[in-house]
Amino acid sequence: MIKFYTSAFSILLLSSVQAQYCTAVGPSTTADSNLQSFNLSGESATAITFTGCPGVAGLDDQTFAESVVLNAGTSYTAYAQFGTCGGNYYGVGQAWIDYNQNQVFESSESIGTWSGTPPTALSTWGFNVPAGAISGTTRLRVVQFEGGALPIDPCAVFTWGSTTDFTVQIGGGMDCSGYLGQSTASPRPVSALPYSENYNNSVCYYNVMPVYGSPDVFYRILPVQLGAQYITISLCGSAIDTYLSVLDADGNVLYYNDDNAACGTSSKIHFNAGTHDTLYAVVQGWGYAVGAYSILVEEELAGISENSNSANFELYPNPANDRVKISVNEVNALVQIHDLSGKLVYTTTIQNQQEIDLAELGNGTYLVTVLTEKGTFTQKLVLQ
């Protein structure tokens, strides 16, 4: 699968960042097909009683206006009228409740579907809130997609139709308060090296890192305390397509990898921890992927080889004076240069082969890391 990088390396991550649903969704116009009404009665006399039209372009966010309380393990009935604010055209409709609160509307969370050409009969959907649903605040999304097909992508963008969100409060479900790894404030601790576990991001985790919409799991690594200078983090063998980032204590992204050449769609990073007291490894799926993954964190006792050239990465001359050439079989490859303390001192983007001026760095030994779609490659560079 071809991957496209966003500006992950410029992110400043704070533990107070809120989880993010896909919200750049829905119709580009206000004409024609639209959810005309949606009704759902819940506990304690709460109910969603929505009436649509006129149409709304993009997401019709009703989360502050319409909410309902539902209990885990209990059955309910929703009523949806898929219609139009203009002409009558064939379309499809679907609704989901994010039971596991991971900010992803999964196919297993669908509560009903519809297809037809308005006017059609009111859709009546009986559904059961799973006993394992997560307690707390979550979302219900209803999409009407003119000219579309089932199943609908809940994050779809289209021309005519509607995407409408409501608030659902789940009671009597699972308590996620004891789950570690939801942010830098409550990470899963890497207490010793090597460290490994098989884990899952599908329950009690949500999206924080804006690179992809998949839920994130945070791990804390203490390199100085663990006595580790060079560290490898591997997600090889994971059941889902993964994306891996390494952050410093302030939330700045130091390294990232999507597909590692040795791991297929899994991720792997080998890096110099420098003098960092605290680092965070962030595991997430590519896109909106959720499910099982395997993580291994270990020390590379041999460090980074002086001759670690790969067919994907060449650096010359080395040693060098002010200017060096970097050759990589990629376009838009990210280059990061760190000093031996681990401080990022230079960054740029290159196209295939390019000469860069490093006169401002001064004499010394540096670590040059090239981050590409094929992996992360690091080599020592001596400036003299």
| pLDDT value, residue 341 | 63
The pLDDT, as a whole number, for residue 11 is: 33
The amino acid that residue 166 corresponds to is: F
Q: Which residues contact 191 (CB under 8 A, 6 or more apart)?
A: none
CA dist 8 and 20 (Å) reads 16
- Residue 198 has what pLDDT? 97
pLDDT at 261: 80
Pairing of strands 268-272, 279-285: unpaired
Domains of the chain: 8-15+183-299 (2.60.120.380), 26-171 (2.60.40), 313-383 (2.60.40.3080)
Averages of pLDDT over runs of 10 residues in the chain (384 residues) are 32 39 95 97 98 96 97 98 96 97 92 98 97 94 98 97 98 91 95 95 86 92 91 95 94 88 89 90 93 93 46 74 84 81 82 86 83 74 83
